[in-house]
């Protein structure tokens, strides 16, 4: 048992970060106290943290790009990217005459809903098996084109089907 120098509570040594792997030396403050201190520092130094992250991204473009490619092919990564695109549309960054101002569900709720959705899982698995063929990628379809991205108005279909529906409605075939 080790006493934390910050909260003075005795804790198991596994509750303290190792700072020297060679000797096995551990920090004097417990993991939770250190975490609280680091979070408080980051909140007080937001611009410095942002600048450091931007600099890291500039210095590690290839590593960052590779991470993004891999992450976007996970369910959570794909859903996060999909939500970002939907959010951009309703905020007017893409085709504002079609989407700007439409209601949108929350990011966390959208991801949770999608992960539980049987159709999304089937489509995502088929997309993976195809070697990530863009035509088979899961796509959000708004059932009522005047409605927003709300749970009663969205469903998952393939990108190919969604494009086809958009083309048909654009030329008045629906």
Identify the band that residue 169 occupies on the pLDDT scale cut at 50, 70 and 90. Answer: low
Contact status, residue 94 vs residue 88, Cβ threshold 8 Å: yes
- Phi then psi for 2, rounded to 5 degrees? -125, 140
pLDDT of 122 = 98
What distance lies between CA 164 and its chain's CA centroid? 27
Please tell me the pTM assigned to this model: 0.67
Higher pLDDT, 154 or 2: 154
Angle at which helix 31-44 crosses helix 46-59, to 10 degrees, equals 90
Higher pLDDT, 94 or 139: 139
pLDDT of 166 = 75
44, pLDDT greater than 70 = yes
pLDDT of 174 = 55
Report CA-CA distances (Å) from 166 to 81, 108, 113, 114: 21, 27, 24, 22
Identify the band that residue 172 occupies on the pLDDT scale cut at 50, 70 and 90. Answer: low
Report CA-CA distances (Å) from 46 to 31, 40, 52: 22, 10, 10
Nearest to 162 by CA among 144, 145, 139: 139
Identify the band that residue 170 occupies on the pLDDT scale cut at 50, 70 and 90. Answer: low
Report CA-CA distances (Å) from 55 to 52, 59, 79, 118: 5, 6, 27, 41
């Amino acid at each position: 048992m080790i006493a934390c120098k910050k909260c003075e509570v005795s804790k198991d040594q596994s509750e303290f970060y190792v700072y020297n792997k060679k000797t096995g030396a551990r920090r004097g403050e417990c993991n939770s106290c250190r975490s609280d201190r680091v979070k408080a520092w980051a909140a007080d130094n937001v611009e410095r943290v942002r600048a450091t992250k931007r600099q890291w991204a500039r210095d590690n473009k290839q590593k960052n790009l590779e991470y993004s490619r891999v992450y976007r092919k996970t369910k959570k990564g794909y859903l996060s990217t999909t939500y970002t695109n939907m959010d951009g549309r309703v905020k007017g960054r893409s085709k504002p005459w079609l989407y700007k101002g439409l209601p949108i569900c929350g990011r966390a709720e959208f991801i949770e809903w999608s992960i539980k959705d049987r159709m999304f899982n089937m489509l995502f698995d088929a997309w993976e098996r195809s070697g990530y063929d863009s035509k088979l990628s899961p796509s959000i379809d708004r059932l009522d084109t005047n409605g927003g991205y709300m749970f009663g108005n969205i469903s998952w279909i393939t990108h190919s089907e969604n494009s086809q529906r958009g083309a048909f409605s654009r030329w008045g075939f629906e």
